[in-house]
Chains A and B, each alone.
Chain A
Amino acid sequence: MRIYMDYILEVRNLNVYYKSIGRSILSKPAKKQVLFDVSFDVRPGEILGIVGESGCGKSSLSKAILGMNKMYEGQIIHHSGKPQMIFQDPFSSLNPAWRIGRILEEPLILSGIRDKEERRKRVEDMLNKVGLDESYADRKPVALSGGQRQRVSIAAALIARPQLVIADEPLSALDVTIQSQIMDLMLELKRELGLTYLFVSHDIDVVYQMCDRIMVMKEGRIIELGDTLEMFANPKNEYTRSLIEG
């Protein structure tokens, strides 16, 4: 049994900024605010969907949570160690010069697993978990299809056993038929490994199918946050309704 935890992640009064690029190298870069007073929690084992149009701040939010943008005020409290990320574009997220086996081994090396044999075993095990056989370890990313690559990048994100995984539009670069396969895989891995997902997407249908709760964002603010079924049955906000009705 897992020890009971209220929250896996707490975000309190988060304001996120970006450096806007100055006209000359000597001018002081201006700060541009992209998130305004954002607060929410993520509960262990849930899938929280973050929806909004492009530019609404959902990517800025995931970057801040992952520590990729340090220019923020407010609190981001992790109760479960470092989160990992599944990227949108599987053609860019895998190192083209490395074999799949090496790509999957890297997170293990970085998390301090010295034993080569153990690493090899975990790589094979993880490949099987995402539905690929061990022979893929010797291939390079170019030799894989988009769906297979996304399986590998999911494997790379999960192999070091994070508890919270942020998925940034993990399906939008894929064909529709492949999308449902990857969706199923993500749900299956969540059950098997006891994961929590923060699922960032612009596709309201995908979010409806995947997520337990939904957070709607617009122009850097949270518009509505609530249970998926409840929100779809009775959207409180006009913007949310327009998203749902498409």
Chain B
Amino acid sequence: MAEKRTKVKKNIYFRVGLGITLFFVVLMFVGLIYTPYDPNAMNSSEKFLAPCLSHPMGTDNFGRDIFSRVLKGISMTGLVAVSTVAIGGTIGTIIGALTGFYGGIVDEIVMRINDTLNGFPSILLALVIVSILGPGKYNVILALGILFIPSFARIVRSEYINYKNRDFVKSARLMGAGSLRIIFLHIFPNILPTLLVTITIGFNNAVLAEAGLSYLGIGIQPPDASLGSMLSDAQSYLFSAPWYAVMPGMTIVLFVLGFSLLSEGICSK
């Protein structure tokens, strides 16, 4: 009975998470093609307008429409998160699959490098990479992408270690399947559920990391809007124009909450 109840509860997590995530995906695409105002158009006569009918989220210190900028910011942050997870996930999965499957000395070396990368606080490492490459959205994507490789590699590797000695792998080998066929065709579908959870958690972390980097001023550069850079700009006006910080802040919270619920839901499926 209790088991059933938690299952239903988890299912609600999954649905709500999926709902929020899909909502944000739609907003991402909307932000790419349409915003009510030009997100970068300044208007000195409309500075710090509180949320009203024509500006649902108010305006900022340059008189820019916050709603338009939030929409643009969602697309930007989403783009960074998707690309980051795509880079980190693909490379991490390949590294994890090969090292986990083959093992041996190469595995040892790669995993020690992995440990070293993991040893640094990730935001510090991102700072270092971005300060070497210079700020800008492509460099942020690259830095975060590299940063995400170890976590994917580690998880995928442990899955491959778990599967590589199963009899179905031996059986495939006996039937004449090559190593690459075994790695990507036979074993890979088995790790998909784990990978899916890792990807949703990765999205989450990427959104937060991008916001963090932009907040520190080394992420997305003005006049481009991102949720993090808006927060950073807003902190000087926290008391005079609280909506400026609250709107992008709430958006980040919702965005992350959606992914968290989704991964929780997938986990329990």
Does B29 reach chain A (CB closer than 8 Å)?
no
* CB-based contact A84/B175 at 8 Å: yes
Interface residues of B (CB under 8 A from A): 105, 108, 166-168, 170-177, 186, 189-190, 192
Specify which of A82, A97, A160 lies most central, judged by the most chain B CB atoms within 10 Å of its CB: A97
Bound CA–CA A95/B108 (angstroms): 28
Say yes or no: A111 contacts B176, CB within 8 Å: yes
Residues of B within 8 A of A93 (CB): 166-168, 171
Instruction: Determine whether the beta carbon of B190 is less than 8 Å from that of A25.
Output: no
Q: Which residue of B lies closest to A26 (CB)?
A: B105
Complex: A140 Cα to B151 Cα, angstroms: 30
Inter-subunit contact B105/A25 (CB<8 Å): yes
> Which chain B residues lie closer than 8 Å to A25 at the CB level?
105, 108
Distance in angstroms between the alpha carbons of A87 and B172 in the assembled complex: 12
> Shortest CB–CB separation between residue B163 and chain A, in angstroms?
9
State A56–B63 Cα separation when bound (angstroms).
84
Complex contacts, A153 vs chain B, CB 8 Å: 171
What are 7 A-B interface contacts by the 8 Å CB criterion? A85-B171, A92-B166, A93-B167, A94-B168, A96-B168, A106-B177, A160-B175
What total of chain A residues lie within 8 Å of the partner, measured CB to CB?
A: 25
The residues of A that contact B177 with a CB separation of less than 8 Å are 106, 110
- Please name the 6 residue pairs, one residue from A and one from B, whose CB atoms are nearest each other, closest first: A97-B189, A93-B167, A92-B167, A95-B168, A97-B190, A87-B167
In the complex, per-residue mask of A172-205: 1 if CB is within 8 Å of any chain B CB, else 0: 0000000000000000000000000000000000
Question: B170 touching A110 by the CB < 8 A rule?
Answer: no
Q: Is A134 an interface residue (CB 8 A)?
A: no
For A96, the chain B residues whose CB sits under 8 A away are 168, 190
For the residues of B in contact with A, the DSSP-based class is helix
Q: Is the CB of B176 within 8 A of A110?
A: yes
Interface: A143 (CB within 8 A) = no
A107 within 8 A of B: yes
Q: A66-B174, A95-B168, A96-B168 are in contact. List 9 more A-B contacts (CB 8 A).
A: A67-B174, A68-B170, A84-B175, A87-B170, A95-B186, A111-B175, A111-B176, A153-B171, A160-B175
| B174 A85 Cβ-Cβ under 8 A | yes
Tell me if A89 counts as interface (CB < 8 A to partner B): yes
Beyond A25-B105, A95-B186, A95-B190, whether A107 also contacts B167 by CB under 8 A is no
Q: Which chain A residue shows the least CB distance to B190?
A: A97
Compute how far the CA of A88 lies from the CA of B167 in the bound complex, rounded to whole angstroms. 9
Of B105, B108, B166, chain A has the most CB atoms within 10 Å of the CB of B166
Cβ–Cβ contact B108 & A110, under 8 A = no
Considering the complex, give the chain A residue whose CB is closest to the CB of B178. Answer: A110
- Residue of B167, B170, B177 with most partner-chain A CB within 10 A: B167
* Cβ–Cβ contact A89 & B175, under 8 A: no
Q: Which residues of B contact A97 (CB under 8 A)?
A: 189-190, 192
User: Smallest CB–CB gap between B104 and chain A, Å?
Assistant: 8
Distance of B156 from chain A, by nearest CB (Å): 15
